[in-house]
């Protein structure tokens, strides 16, 4: 009659199999998490661009999105005449010129292409107009694993779209 349970050797074999499978899975899991973070950043940036287009149409003012590749941040400002701005709106919504989004660590802005650099700023700017159009442009967000997403803003319609770019390795 054999005793119930597992022998020590059987338990060790199971532990070795589990540790080997974890060793093989961990690198692909970290690569997957970096890709998810990059995709999330691309969606956040495209959301900011879509928000600015919507606000320009709804409020009737020009909205600008400034891209600072060195500091890895995106800022939003409106070209709203200061005398028409009500204090209640500023308190309720916050000042649009103070909205800044910093990209997560490990994600870089590459190839920021805009129609022209405007208002004497050294930073590339995409403007959204009250008629729904924009100055147009594109930018490339690149992650640590050399994978990237391209975000394009159509100059005529102001529509924003995200395109996955093949790995650069």
The three-class DSSP label of residue 85 is coil
Instruction: Please give the model's pTM, rounded to 2 decimal places.
Output: 0.74
pLDDT for the residue numbered 52: 92
CA distance 52 to 139: 16
Check: CB of residue 123 under 8 Å from CB of residue 72: no
Helices (H), 60-78: none
Q: Is 16 exposed, middle or buried (0-12, 13-18, 19+ CB in 10 A)?
A: exposed
CA distance 137 to 133: 12
**What are the chain's domains?**
45-165 (3.55.40.10)
pLDDT digits (tens, 9 = 90+) for 94-109: 554 568 898 888 888 8
């Amino acid at each position: 009659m054999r005793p119930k349970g597992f022998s020590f050797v059987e338990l060790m074999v199971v532990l070795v199999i589990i540790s080997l499978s974890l060793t093989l899975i961990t690198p692909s899991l970290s690569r997957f998490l970096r890709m998810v973070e990059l995709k999330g950043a691309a969606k956040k940036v495209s959301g900011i661009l879509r928000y600015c287009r919507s606000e320009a149409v709804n409020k009737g003012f020009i909205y600008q999105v400034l891209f600072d590749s060195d500091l890895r941040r995106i800022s939003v400002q409106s070209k709203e005449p200061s005398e028409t701005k009500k204090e209640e709106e500023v308190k309720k919504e916050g000042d649009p010129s103070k909205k800044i989004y910093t990209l997560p660590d490990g994600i870089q802005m590459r190839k920021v292409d805009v129609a022209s650099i405007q208002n004497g700023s050294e930073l590339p700017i995409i403007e959204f107009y009250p008629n729904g159009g924009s100055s147009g442009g594109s930018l490339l967000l690149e992650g640590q694993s050399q994978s990237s997403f391209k975000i394009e803003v159509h100059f005529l319609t102001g529509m924003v779209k995200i395109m996955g770019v093949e790995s650069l390795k």
